[in-house]
Amino acid sequence: MTVEPLQAAAPVPYGQLVPVTVHFDDLDALGMLHNSRYPLLAERAWAEYWHGLGFGFDGDWATAGDMCNVIKEMKVSYERPVTRAGHYAAHLWVERLGRTSLTYGFRLCSADGTETHAQGHRVLVRVDPQTLRPTPWSDRARTIAADLLRPEQADDEVAAA
């Protein structure tokens, strides 16, 4: 199964717009999307995106490859509450691509990408399944991630290479 990027009212200038769904039980007692659900929706969108490109995890860390990674940092800024269940989007991009780490940015937004509800970033480190020490991303994962680099970061990454 592949995830089809959404058609935004105005195409996103970088990254991908991936559909996400807010369900009624994601809302808190005040009728707003619970704060813990924003990063969860972003994570699910990233998982769907990578899964659609053939990356996955079947429970065996020894064969997980690039999917064997850990979170080093997570930041979310809440801009505007989501007040109803329905279809939304996650705008996904890569902010920094290192040898063993990857910082991705995300924005939870309206389905057409025009309204931002929350935004943030998450730092991942790829680890060796035996030692749990940082290990380099595969060339294939680096190529895919490089295609998602935000333009300013893409220039920085080329200069650093």
Q: Using one digit for the tens of pLDDT, what is the confidence trace for 76-132?
A: 999 999 999 999 999 999 999 999 999 999 999 999 999 999 999 999 999 999 999
Residue 6 in this model has a pLDDT that exceeds 50: no
Q: What average pLDDT does this structure show over 57-80? A: 93
What are the structure tokens assigned to 30, written together? 């005040």
pLDDT band at 3 (very low <50, low <70, confident <90, very high): very low
CA separation for the pair 34, 17 (Å, rounded):
22
According to the model, what pLDDT value does residue 153 have? 60
Predicted confidence (pLDDT) at residue 10 exceeds the cutoff of 70: no
**Residue 156: what pLDDT?**
53
CA–CA separation, 31 and 17 (whole Å): 25
Lowest mean pLDDT among 50-64, 67-81, 93-107: 50-64
Regarding predicted confidence, which is higher, 158 or 4?
4
pLDDT at 1: 43
Residue 157 has pLDDT above 80, yes or no: no
Q: Is the pTM of this model over 0.75?
A: yes
CB 77 within 8 A of CB 118: yes
Q: Is 33 exposed, middle or buried (0-12, 13-18, 19+ CB in 10 A)?
A: buried
